[in-house]
Amino acid sequence: MSTVATTVKPRRAVLEMPEYHPPLAERTALRLDFNENTLAPSPRVADRLRQITAEGLTKYPEREPVERKIAAHFGLEPAQVLLTNGVDEAIHLICCAFLDEGDEAVIATPSFFMYDVNIRMMTRGLVKVQADETLEFPFERLLAAITERTKLIIIASPNNPTGATVTRGQLLAIANAAPHAVLMVDEAYFHFHGETVMGDIASTPNLIVARTFSKAYGLANLRLGMLAGNSELLTYLRKVSSPYNVNGVALDCLSVAIEDDAYINWYAEQIRIGRERTMAGLSELGISYFPSAANFVLMKIGPLHKELVAAMRHHGVLLRDRSTDPGCDGYVRITIGVGDQVTRGLEALKISLNEIGWKPQRGFATTESKQKQEL
C-alpha cells in the first residue's frame, strides 16, 4: 500500500498572524530592556518560597482563594476578578471570549504587540489607529474608528512603548461610545503613573481593567496577571480559561506580595525619581525623547539605533530597539532602574553615543527645548 505525503496546515488566521520573538537570550547585563523590576520583589516573597514543601507541589493550584484576597485588596467583589497567566493570557482570553470572525477590534498603535497577535488569531477585522509623529494617543481618530462591528477595543495607559497616557475622561468616553463592545484598559504600568479606571467598573458595564504583577511587584518570572470588570463579562472569561491557569507557587507568592504596600510604594517612588533623572540626563545629552509616565523612556536615536544597542550591550547595559514599531523608526527604549542603576545606564549611554559617532539630527530637539519654544 502506498502512502501519500501530506502537510497539515493550521487555520488561515494562524498562517497570517505575526510572530513575536522576544530577544531574551544572554541577559546577564543590567536589564534596561524589558521594563522589568530591576531589583527584587518584596522580601516576603522570598520568605514564602522557602516555606513551599515538596508535598505542596503535588497539588493542583487553587486560584479562587487568592482571587478573593486580591478582590478585597482592590475593593472589588470576587466575581469581578480573574487571575491569569500574565496579561498575555488575559488578552488571549478576552479575544477568545468576545471576538468572532468578521468582528472588528480597535487598537491604537504603536502599542503592545500581543494585542495584534491575539486579535488576528480570532478575526481579520483588526483596526489600527496610528498615532501621528507626536506619538500622543489619537483620541478623536480612535473614536471615529468605532463602528457597529466593533466588538473589542484595547487601550494601554500608560502605553508601551511610548509611555503616553490616556485620561480617565477619554477612556470613559470611548466606553460610552461603544456600549456594544468590550473596552479593555491595560494598566500594566499603573504604579508608575497612579491614575486608574478601576473605580469605574461598577458604572461602566463594558469596561475590563488588566493589571500585571510583573512590573512593580517584580514577579515577571511567575507569570501573574489580573482582569477586573463586570461580573457577567468575567463569567464568560472564566468559561474560556483553564481552571489551573495560574500555578500554585505563583499564587502563594502573590498572596504575600499583595500585602506589602510599603514595598510597592517605595519601589514605585524610586522609579519615579529615576525616571526624572533619566529624562534630565537625556536632555543634557541632546537626545529627543517622549515624556513618560511608565518605568521606561522612549528616545529618538535615528539611523544609529542598532549601533547604540550593540554598544550599550558591550558596556554591560541592555536596551530595547523599538524601530520596528509603527511610527517608531530610529527609537530606542530604556527601562528605568533604581539608584545606581540609573547612573550606570546614563554613563554607558554617554560613552556609547561617543563611540558610535552619534550627533543630534537636524530637526531633533530635546523635550526641554521644545517646551521652552512653546512658552
Q: What is the pTM of this model?
A: 0.92
Burial tier of 197 (Cβ tally within 10 Å: 0-12, 13-18, 19+): buried
**pLDDT (0 to 100) of residue 235:** 97
**pLDDT (0 to 100) of residue 234:** 97
Identity of the amino acid at 332: V
The answer to whether 15-36+262-374 and 44-259 have equal CATH topology is no
**pLDDT (0 to 100) of residue 13:** 84
**pLDDT (0 to 100) of residue 299:** 97
**pLDDT (0 to 100) of residue 192:** 97
Distance, in Å, from the CA atom of 36 to the CA atom of 135, rounded to the nearest integer, reads: 23
* Domain boundaries, given as residue ranges, for the chain: 15-36+262-374, 44-259
**pLDDT (0 to 100) of residue 364:** 43
Phi and psi at residue 108, to the nearest 5°: -100, 140
DSSP 5: -
Distance, in Å, from the CA atom of 6 to the CA atom of 358, rounded to the nearest integer, reads: 53
**pLDDT (0 to 100) of residue 2:** 57
Q: Which CATH class is domain 15-36+262-374?
A: alpha beta
Alpha helices (runs of H) in 258-339, residue ranges in sequence order: 261-285, 305-314
Burial tier of 357 (Cβ tally within 10 Å: 0-12, 13-18, 19+): exposed
Query: Within the chain, which residues score under 50 in pLDDT?
Result: 363-375
Contact at 8 Å (CB) between 16 and 120? Answer: yes
Distance, in Å, from the CA atom of 210 to the CA atom of 212, rounded to the nearest integer, reads: 7
Distance, in Å, from the CA atom of 15 to the CA atom of 30, rounded to the nearest integer, reads: 36
Identity of the amino acid at 118: N
Distance, in Å, from the CA atom of 309 to the CA atom of 40, rounded to the nearest integer, reads: 25
44-259 carries CATH number 3.30.420.40: no
What torsion, rounded to 10 degrees, do the Cα atoms 363, 366, 371, 372 define?
-80
